[in-house]
Amino acid sequence: MPRYVDHDARRDLVAGVAADLVAEEGLEALTVRRVAQAAGHSTTVVSHYFADRRDLVTSTYRAAAARTSARFDAALAGARARGGDPLQACLEALLPLDDERSREWRTWFAFWAMAVSDIDLAAEQDRRVQSARARIAAVLADEQAAERVRLPADGSTADAAYRLLVLVHGLGTHAAFDAAHWTPQRQREAVAAELAALRPEGRQPSQTS
Amino acid sequence: MPRYVDHDARRDLVAGVAADLVAEEGLEALTVRRVAQAAGHSTTVVSHYFADRRDLVTSTYRAAAARTSARFDAALAGARARGGDPLQACLEALLPLDDERSREWRTWFAFWAMAVSDIDLAAEQDRRVQSARARIAAVLADEQAAERVRLPADGSTADAAYRLLVLVHGLGTHAAFDAAHWTPQRQREAVAAELAALRPEGRQPSQTS
C-alpha cells in the first residue's frame, strides 16, 4: 500500500520539522500555519496529516522521542563495535552534549510544561520514560552477564536503570540553564562517577569516551 | 513608609496567587485578567502592581522560589532542633513529596519551558539554582566540620552540592510523571542512598525522616 507508506513517511517528515520548530521557538510556535510554512506545505496539506493541534503536539513529541531512541541505539551499537563502554555511550546519547541535543532538551521542557496539565501527553511522556528505562535495563543486564556491572543484592536492573535516568534528567535540566558549569566533560564525568559505583570491586571504571 | 510596605506586601500576595494559578492550569492561565479574578482584585489593581505580563511571570516565578527557599530553611532548622539529618531534611524540602510540592513542580516545568527562549527568565532560573546550590553547600560544609560528611579529596562542597541538586531535579521530574513508582518513600531512599556515599567510612547513613 504505497499510498499509505507515503502518507506516513510525509507525516513523520512534517512532525520532524515541527519538532525543530518547538526546539527553536517553544510550543507556542507549534501551529498548523507555522508548521506548514516551515515544511514548505500549504496549511491544507498539514491539516490533512494531523487531526488537530493536539494531534500535532503528540506527533511532534513522538518524532523527537524517536530521534532520541535512534541515537541511543546507534551509540550502543557503536560502543559495542568499538569495544567502548556501552552504558556510558548510551547514557551520553541522551544528554545535551552538543547543539542538536541541547535543542532537543528545550523540546522536552516545552512538552513537560504541557504534559503536567494534559493527561494524554503525560501518558506519552511516561511511555517514553518506561521505554528508555527498559532499554537501559537491558544494557545493564548484558553488562551484568559480562561481569562488568554488579548490582546490590537487593537491586533490580529496572531500579538501577531508573536511577541512571534520574541522573540523566537532572543533568539535562541543569545543563540547559548553566551550560558554563555543565560542560560536556562535566556531564560525562558525572555519568562515569555514577557508573563507577556499579562496577565490581577492584575493577576500574571505564574511561569516558 | 507604610504605603510602600503595603504595596510590596500586596504585590507578593498577588504573585503568590498567580503561582497557584500556574501550578493548577499552566502558564497560559497567567494573564492579568485571570490573576485579578483569582486574587479578587480588579484588572486595574493588578496592572498597577505589574508593569506587563513579563513582569507578572517573573514575579510569579520569584514568589514560587521564595516559598521553596522558606521551606528549605524551615526543614533545616527543624532537623537541627530535633537532632535529625540536616542534609536529608533540606533536600526533602525540595522534592515533590506532597500535594503542595507537586503543584510547585508543575510550576517549575512551566517556567523552564518559557525560560529556554527567554534570556531574563533563564537568568532568574540560574540565580535560583545557584542560590539553592550555595545553601546546600553551606549545609555540607557544616556537616563536614561536624565530621558527618566526608567529600573526596578533590571535591568541593560546591560541586557536591550541585550533584545533590542534579539528583533533586531528576527525581522531581520523574516523580511528576510517574508518581506510582516515585512514591515519597522511594524519593527519600534515593536521597539517602546518595548521601550515604558522602558519609565517612564506618558511619551508617542516617535514617530517612
- Give me the residue from A116, A163, A170 closest to B106, CB to CB: A116
The predicted pLDDT at position A207 comes to 46
Q: Which range has highest mean pLDDT (A5-9, A51-55, B161-165, B177-181)?
A: B161-165
Cβ distance of B166 and A106 shorter than 8 Å:
no
Q: Is the pLDDT assigned to residue A209 strictly greater than 50?
A: no
Distances (CA, A) of A187 to A87, A88, A191, B128: 14, 11, 6, 20
Average pLDDT rounded to a whole number, residues A40-68:
89
The alpha carbon of residue A80 and the mean position of all alpha carbons in its chain are separated, in whole angstroms, by: 20
Residues on chain B touching A110 (C-beta within 8 angstroms): 113, 116
B121 touches chain A (CB under 8 A): no
- DSSP-derived letter for residue B29 is G
Residues 6+ apart with CB under 8 A from B131: B69
Average pLDDT rounded to a whole number, residues A181-209:
81
Residues on chain A touching B162 (C-beta within 8 angstroms): 174, 181
Cα of A127 to nearest chain B Cα, Å: 10
**pLDDT-derived band at A27, boundaries 50, 70, 90:** confident
The angle formed by the CA atoms of residues B32, B38 and B43, to the nearest 5 degrees, is 35
Cβ distance of A122 and B167 shorter than 8 Å:
no
The predicted pLDDT at position B110 comes to 83
Cβ distance of A109 and B106 shorter than 8 Å:
no
**Contact by Cβ (8 Å): A23, A104:** yes
Give the end-to-end CA distance of chain B in Å, rounded to a whole number. 44
Cβ distance of A166 and B167 shorter than 8 Å:
yes
Tens of pLDDT along B21-46?
A: 887 887 778 889 999 999 998 999 88
Q: Where are the alpha helices (DSSP H) in chain A?
A: 2-25, 32-39, 43-49, 53-82, 86-92, 99-115, 119-145, 157-177, 184-196
Q: Which of residues 133-162 of B touch A (CB under 8 A)?
A: 162
Residues on chain B touching A126 (C-beta within 8 angstroms): 177-178
Tens of pLDDT along A116-131?
A: 878 888 888 999 999 9
Tens of pLDDT along B96-127?
A: 999 888 888 888 888 888 888 788 888 889 99
The predicted pLDDT at position B29 comes to 84
- Give me the residue from B109, B117, B181 closest to A26, CB to CB: B117
Average pLDDT rounded to a whole number, residues A147-157:
88
Structure-model confidence comparison of residues A176 and B73, the more confident one: B73
Cβ distance of B109 and A116 shorter than 8 Å:
yes
Residues 6+ apart with CB under 8 A from B86: B76, B79, B80, B139, B142, B143
The predicted pLDDT at position B20 comes to 86
Q: Is the pLDDT assigned to residue A173 strictly greater than 50?
A: yes
The predicted pLDDT at position A12 comes to 85
What does the alpha-carbon distance between residue B104 and residue A209 come to, in Å, rounded to a whole number? Answer: 37
Interface ipTM above 0.85: no
The predicted pLDDT at position A4 comes to 60
Ranges of chain B with pLDDT below 50: 1, 205-209
What does the alpha-carbon distance between residue A194 and residue A76 come to, in Å, rounded to a whole number? Answer: 18
Average pLDDT rounded to a whole number, residues A33-53:
90
Tens of pLDDT along A73-94?
A: 999 999 999 999 999 999 999 9
